[in-house]
Amino acid sequence: MKHIAVIGAGTMGNGIAHVFAQKGYNVRLIDISEASLKKGMATIGKNLDRMVAKEKISETDKSNTLSHISSFTQLEKGVADVDLVVEAATENIALKLEIFKQLDDVCAENTILATNTSSISITQIAAVTQRPKKVIGMHFMNPVPIMQLVEIIRGYSTSNEVTATIMQVSRDLGKTPTEVNDYPGFVANRILMPMLNEAIETLYHGVAGVVEIDTVMKLGMGHPMGPLQLADFIGLDVCLSILNVMYDGFKNPKYSPCPLLVNMVMAGKLGVKSGEGFYDYATSRKAEVVSKQFV
């Protein structure tokens, strides 16, 4: 397995392309937007520059990595004759189902189809294809070049052979794969998102402010980043989407998104990506007052 296609040139997609290319895989990075592809390649270049500056890799390593990545705006051309496709498009179920229908039509029969979804059912995605045994979840953590874990999610029909192959590919990338079964949120987000939601509820009910909540969790619980800051980095819209998936899947009120989170997303306060969430990233000013105005 040496030929990989990655769909989506955003934060997760360019990170996944980076780690595969750095390990010598031939990577085809696919996005419908030429501008997104250029931005994604620029991000990969900047991340490699940081690694060179820290003497983790050489300039030759950087050049070799970039030489292993080619970009495409046409899906059919990008996935031709690849061994594995990793879909890393927006966390939108309708979009993912449409992409997998297309992939099933244009990919070779032996191509494994993986999705980087952090919450959407692998079984549901696989059901729109004629190859459910070859569909699997490959949930990388952000930032992909740094984070060790890859959550490997088996759908209802995913074969043992495909699971073993993807586990080994993850190890070959220098990652630690962990196999889990297909239930809403899997393991990572089933545990993480209720914690982030509870932190937002704590702010919503006026128990403490943004800085205070994050300080308690960092200093008291040993978390490297407070939950509100982490939510900003993930994207508040992504957090809301994942919570909605879990709430729809389990029908359990403990997964119901906090009204403050809902209001912030409606107001376009999405965290780092929009420049403002619980913190103000435009001025590095704490955005406690900004978030509280929606209570």
- The catalytic residues are 118, 139, 151, 189
- The most distant pair of C-alpha atoms in the chain lies apart, rounded to whole Å, by 56
* Of the candidates 150, 35, 25, 165, the residue with the CA atom closest to the CA atom of residue 88: 150
Question: Is 9 annotated as ligand-binding?
Answer: yes
Question: Is 96 annotated as ligand-binding?
Answer: yes
Q: Is 55 exposed, middle or buried (0-12, 13-18, 19+ CB in 10 A)?
A: exposed
Question: Is 118 annotated as ligand-binding?
Answer: yes
Rounded to whole angstroms, the Cα distance separating 253 from 255 reads 5
Question: Is 46 annotated as ligand-binding?
Answer: no
Question: Is 12 annotated as ligand-binding?
Answer: yes
**Structural contact between residues 35 and 77, judged by C-beta atoms closer than 8 angstroms:** no
Neighbour-count burial for 56-91, b at 16+ CB within 10 Å, e otherwise: ebeeeebeebeebbebbeebeebbbebbbbbbbbeb
Question: Is 91 annotated as ligand-binding?
Answer: yes
The structure tokens 């996944």 sit at 16
Question: Is 268 annotated as ligand-binding?
Answer: no
Q: What count of other Cβ atoms lies within 10 Å of the Cβ of residue 23?
A: 16
Question: Is 263 annotated as ligand-binding?
Answer: no
Which residues are annotated binding-site positions for NAD(+)? 8-13, 31, 91, 96, 118, 142, 273
Which residues are annotated binding-site positions? 8-13, 31, 91, 96, 118, 142, 273
